[in-house]
Amino acid sequence: MPSAPGELDRPPPRHVAIIMDGNGRWASARHMPRIMGHRAGVAAVRNVVRAAGDIGLEYLTLYSFSSENWKRPRTEINDLMGLLRFYLRDDLEELHRNGVQIRVIGAKSQLEGDIVDLIEHAQKRTQDNTKLKLIVAFNYGGQDEIVEAARRIAEDAAAGKIAPADVTRDLFASYLATAGIPDPEIVIRTSGEQRLSNFLIWQSAYSEFVFTDTLWPDFGRAELIAAIREFQGRDRRFGGLTPAAGGRT
């Protein structure tokens, strides 16, 4: 029997990553200031995190602020920092009650001290939760992450802790900010744009991509399930062939 609308026919992937895009366009279409779009985007985060827990995702990564976003006007940056403070303060206990473990990846050096304290408190408060691992990529850039991992490997090699021959893909991955987190099976980007924008470059090597025209503030449970269904209908071969593929290349 077909599943009802809003349900999945099969178990979901373990890890879904989302590039949350379109807050500004959502606000502009409604003749509102951009901050209103970002506020609506926070509401969408709440809805999607709840939905992810409901449908049984193990990992959900959200790209909330890239290392390139510092180029935006200072007023918008301040608004975004304020919304991060708001989310970590006001939503933490609900996330904790719902078994969500929070992990924030990205450079902390440019963040104000109180934000770093809020991040550390949220991570410590939820560290033993196991229902859903929520990874927030904030002040994050994939290229910077790879360079930082290479730098740390070089330092350890120079210190004699590892030999050049020890450097494998698995060892390299253990130096990334996402160490211990499985690579995402699916990367979703909202708003119609079709690029990674420096997000999880290493980790998404074999991810499936789903691009949707839906702006992030309008993205919710139904859109998440639709994206997962699209993913589940694809033939993932990882460079090989499946039995049904015959001689296809």
Domain membership flag for residue 49 = yes
Alpha-helix residue ranges (DSSP H) falling in 8-73: 23-29, 34-55
**Which residue, 109, 105, 113, is CA-closest to 133?**
105
The enclosing domain of 114 has a CATH number of: 3.40.1180.10
Residue 247 has pLDDT above 70, yes or no: no
Q: Catalytic one among 47, 54, 69, 156?
A: 69
Q: Label residue 131 by pLDDT band (50, 70, 90).
A: very high
Residue 37 has pLDDT above 90, yes or no: yes
Q: How far apart are CA 43 and CA 240, in angstroms?
A: 41
| Residue 146 pLDDT | 98
Domain membership flag for residue 150 = no
Q: How far apart are CA 29 and CA 17, in angstroms?
A: 26
Domain membership flag for residue 151 = no
Domain membership flag for residue 94 = yes
Domain membership flag for residue 119 = yes
Q: How far apart are CA 62 and CA 243, in angstroms?
A: 35
21 is catalytic: yes
Residue 57 has pLDDT above 50, yes or no: yes
pTM of the model: 0.91
Domain membership flag for residue 133 = yes
Domain membership flag for residue 108 = yes
Residue 243 has pLDDT above 60, yes or no: no
Domain membership flag for residue 212 = yes
pLDDT tens, position by position, 169-210: 999 999 999 999 999 999 999 999 999 999 999 999 999 999
Give the structural domain span for 61: 15-141+183-230
pLDDT tens, position by position, 141-150: 999 999 999 9
Question: Domain total for the chain?
Answer: 1
